[in-house]
Amino acid sequence: MNPALQGLLTIVIGVGGCVAYFYFSNIILDKVLFPPRGPNAGRNINRANMIRPWLFLLPALLALGLYLAYPVFETLRLSLTQRVRGGGYEFVGLANYQQMLREPKFWEGFSNNLLWLIVVPAASTAFGLLAAQLTDRIKWGAIAKSLIFMPMAISFVGAAVIFKLIYDTRPSGQEQIGVLNAVWLGFDGGVGSFIWLRLVPGLLLLALAAGAGVLAWSLIKPVIGREGRSPGVIFGALRILGAVLMAGVVFVMLRQTLAVFTTEFPYGQPQTWLTIPFWNNFFLMIVLIWIQTGFAMVLLSAALRGIPEETVEAAIVDGANPFQIFFKIKMPQIVGTIVVVWTTITIIVLKVFDIVFAMTNGQWETQVLANYMYDKLFRANDWGVGSAGAMVIMLMVTPILIWNVYNARKEMR
Amino acid sequence: MAELKLKDVAKTYGGSVEVLKNIDLEIGKGELVVFVGPSGCGKSTLLRMIAGLEEISGGTLEIDGQVVNDVPPAQRGIAMVFQSYALYPHMTVRDNMAFALKLAKKSKEEIDAAIQNAARILQLEPYLDRLPKALSGGQRQRVAIGRSIVRDPKVYLFDEPLSNLDAALRVATRIEIAQLKESMPDSTMIYVTHDQVEAMTLATRIVVLANKGIAQVGTPLELYERPENEFVAQFIGSPAMNLLPGKITGTGAQTTVALDGGGVAVSNAPSTEADMGRAVKLGARPEDLLETTNQDGAYIFEGKVDFTESLGEVTILYFEKVNGADPVIAKLPGIHSDLRGRNVRLSAAPEKVQVFLDGRSLYYR
């Protein structure tokens, strides 16, 4: 049969099956099981209405159970077993986990995942917020928004291919087709190079360091009793943790600022960008940021529109400048949406696989946990360690997922 | 001395849509001026122009002797209370009031003192650490007012501050605002409303806005007793003033008007010889019309009562329409449940009767 016909048939059977299921199951409920007639009509209607939601939920529950819940337990079981020669499995306890923890590639994936976790949600949310705020009042804002949103329609692999072309390298002397190398070869070590490769990035890094420093200070301020009410133990600990993290960011930023001004750049040499350790992670992250900024922008733009205009006007009358209006009036009012966006992107980041798989396949120190799991599971055929990797990802996702659902529900109320 | 002076102020949108023009107004220190007008007359726009939230398209605005057309809102010495209160939902009552002072880099002691003072005046002390969502409508309104008080502005601007409150609370808050004004005799207030009762009870002067300009400025009772034109006559007072067509038949210190409906009225408004025979409209408030049983005496209007509303203290009579004009309405004191369907003659005292020639009152010539 022609594949198109097959597809059509599948659609007809699938949709028709759904409709038939809902129609006939309700008919059976109303006509056969609890008919609204006879002496018990009232009771029967109540009972039928109690059962009806479950009729509608049943297919979804079955599918989720089969494809989500069951695999979780099966993966857990597999992560505690090991294949034996000649078929079958045997229980090995935590041996798979121990083996995994001894592997440097796992720790590389783990630390890279943490790096992704910090950079991508922060950058996507920040750019999304910026885009949402800037496109709000201008005439061509709608066009700008749809352009920024467009990458959402591209698959991760497709986006990875696009960026592979951007990072492409040709031998010295040939025409560079990669945009990044074409730009890079324009630098010759003169004044322009100093401005664009040392001064601008240096100042940007300093600004980031300052921003992180301010954030750290504002996090720690209530804890040491300088402002507001003292937070509880849990939030106090979280604030201290965040402040320490931010202090670390400040340190890294300052070190990189120094590096930006002192490193010798190999001018005139085309670079293979994806093989530069540490930095190649960022080249991969840019792909995901490029995609997720649109998502963040759409949600945050809707949230910004929801802010009562009069509170902004009251702030203007109170003497707030545009920055104060944005950070002290607008941002606090949409903080719930920001958290939802942030955690949603965090979950996507923890699962990131396609981009790394398609661009570097985890080489040159770009491994991430999902790709590590895939490597073990389908290349090394080691189901035990692969499942252990999967469990680690799940353990990391779960708390964020719960928090995300909690926040999303709070937003809806 | 004028605290606030508007000279030939105009507002246009996009260069072609004219909303306000030729607004000339002086507001003295300590006055409470109320802007009223039908919806869409630009009263809120005018307030927002004074606040600095809308650009002034033409003319000048002076506050305390300084032209402030291009001065940002925060430096104009004004504070504004919004219709929806516009409290910052993420800040406590205290922080809401402190926000402007913190931005102005006031010292902590100053801020605390200002907040304590405002909270005492407005009885908000128990709620200082609550978020706005934990307050009732009236309390939120008081916080919004408190946010203005702490800034100690030269001019307070109120944009329909009571329209989000229910009827009972509106009366209570109206009285609170009146008391607040009394406790701060030196502060100037501008108050926008579409509610006549608020305008009549609160204002030292009322500005009636209509047709892109000012229809009349005056004390509440001036507007009520001596409206300058037909618009103000019908806008102030409820039910609206009756306007009856007629011709001038007698001139001098008093004007006599023969009404098209057959009646004759005498008004204290002066007129000249030249006015003889001109078509005018006679204005008489429903509450100034009296039933007259003297069959030989002069009357203004005679008609059949179509419908009555008995409110106890007064009875409102709706007469049958004549030639599609608005029905004549009379408000008689006491209970008159037997008047429906009967012919009634009405008269009015000469000092209560207005005469409008080409829409303008003869009193203002």
Distance CA A169, CA A274 (A): 10
pLDDT in tens, A190-216: 777 778 778 888 888 888 888 888 888
Domain check: are B251 and B304 in the same one? Answer: yes
Question: Which residues in chain B have their CB less than 8 angstroms from residue A311's CB?
Answer: 86-89
- Identify the pLDDT of residue A12: 93
CATH code for the structural domain at A101-186+273-412: 1.10.3720.10
User: Domain count of chain B?
Assistant: 2
Task: Work out how many CB contacts closer than 8 A connect A with B.
Answer: 63
- Confidence check: pLDDT of A176 > 80: no
pLDDT in tens, B212-226: 888 899 999 999 999
Domain check: are B182 and B246 in the same one? Answer: no
- Using 50, 70 and 90 to split pLDDT, how confident is the model at A66? very high
- Find, among B81, B344, B27, the residue nearest to B217 by Cα: B27
- Confidence check: pLDDT of A383 > 70: yes
**CA distances to A329, B20, B36, B98 from B189, in Å:** 27, 21, 14, 21
Contact assignment for A308 to B84 by CB distance below 8 Å = yes
Domain check: are B39 and B185 in the same one? Answer: yes
Contact between B186 and B81 (Cβ < 8 Å): no
Residue that terminates a domain, selected from B234, B251, B266: B234
CA distance A316 to chain B (A): 7
The mean pLDDT of B149-175, rounded to a whole number, is 87
The total of other beta-carbon atoms located within 10 Å of residue A47's CB is 14
Q: What is the CATH number of the domain that holds B61?
A: 3.40.50.300
Domain check: are B138 and B50 in the same one? Answer: yes
Residue that terminates a domain, selected from B192, B215, B234: B234
Task: Enumerate the H helices of A221-334 as residue ranges.
Answer: 233-262, 279-305, 309-318, 322-324, 331-333
CA distance B145 to chain A (A): 12
The mean pLDDT of A258-277, rounded to a whole number, is 78
pLDDT in tens, A314-354: 999 888 888 888 888 898 888 888 888 888 888 888 888 88
| Chain B residues with CB within 8 Å of chain A CB | 51-53, 72-75, 78-80, 82-91, 99-100, 103-104, 147, 151
Dihedral angle sign, alpha carbons of residues A302, A305, A311, A317: positive
- Find, among B278, B287, B280, B282, the residue nearest to B330 by Cα: B287
Domain check: are B68 and B191 in the same one? Answer: yes
Hey, of A307, A318, A325, A329, which one would you mutate to test binding to chain B, going by the most B CBs within 10 A of its CB?
A: A318
Q: Which domain holds residue B341?
A: 241-364
Domain check: are B152 and B53 in the same one? Answer: yes
Question: Which residues in chain A have their CB less than 8 angstroms from residue B52's CB?
Answer: 316-317
Question: Which residues in chain B have their CB less than 8 angstroms from residue A315's CB?
Answer: 88, 99
- Confidence check: pLDDT of A88 > 80: no
Domain check: are B141 and B251 in the same one? Answer: no
Using a 10 angstrom Cβ sphere, with 0-12 exposed, 13-18 middle and 19 or more buried, the burial of residue A84 is: exposed
Domain check: are B152 and B299 in the same one? Answer: no
Distance CA A286, CA A280 (A): 10
ipTM of the complex: 0.82
Contact assignment for B88 to A316 by CB distance below 8 Å = no
Residue that terminates a domain, selected from B182, B216, B234: B234
Question: Which residues in chain A have their CB less than 8 angstroms from residue B100's CB?
Answer: 317-319
Q: What is the CATH number of the domain that holds B288?
A: 2.40.50.140
Contact assignment for A317 to B78 by CB distance below 8 Å = yes
Contact assignment for A317 to B75 by CB distance below 8 Å = no
Within its chain, how far is the Cα of B242 from the centroid? 19
H-helix or E-strand containing A54? helix A41-64
Contact between B96 and B132 (Cβ < 8 Å): yes
CA distance B305 to chain A (A): 49
Distance CA A347, CA A349 (A): 5
Contact assignment for A319 to B84 by CB distance below 8 Å = no
Contact between A163 and A286 (Cβ < 8 Å): yes
Domain check: are B153 and B251 in the same one? Answer: no
**CA distances to A28, A133, A283, B51, B86 from A313, in Å:** 59, 16, 42, 10, 8
- Using 50, 70 and 90 to split pLDDT, how confident is the model at A67? very high
Using a 10 angstrom Cβ sphere, with 0-12 exposed, 13-18 middle and 19 or more buried, the burial of residue A50 is: exposed
pLDDT in tens, B299-316: 888 888 888 898 888 999
pTM for this prediction: 0.76
- Find, among A313, A288, A208, A198, the residue nearest to A250 by Cα: A208
- Confidence check: pLDDT of B238 > 60: yes
The total of other beta-carbon atoms located within 10 Å of residue B140's CB is 22
- Identify the pLDDT of residue A115: 81
User: Which residue in the set B83, B85, B103 is minimally distant from A318, CB to CB?
Assistant: B103
- Confidence check: pLDDT of A50 > 90: no
Domain check: are B229 and B249 in the same one? Answer: no
Domain check: are B177 and B308 in the same one? Answer: no
Using the CB atoms, write b or e for B274-307: b if 16+ within 10 Å.
ebeeeebbbbbbbbbbbebeeeeeebbbbbebee
3-state DSSP call for residue B70? coil
Domain check: are B198 and B287 in the same one? Answer: no
- Residue in chain A lying closest to B99 (CA): A318
Question: Which residues in chain A have their CB less than 8 angstroms from residue B90's CB?
Answer: 332-333, 335
Distance CA A161, CA A165 (A): 6
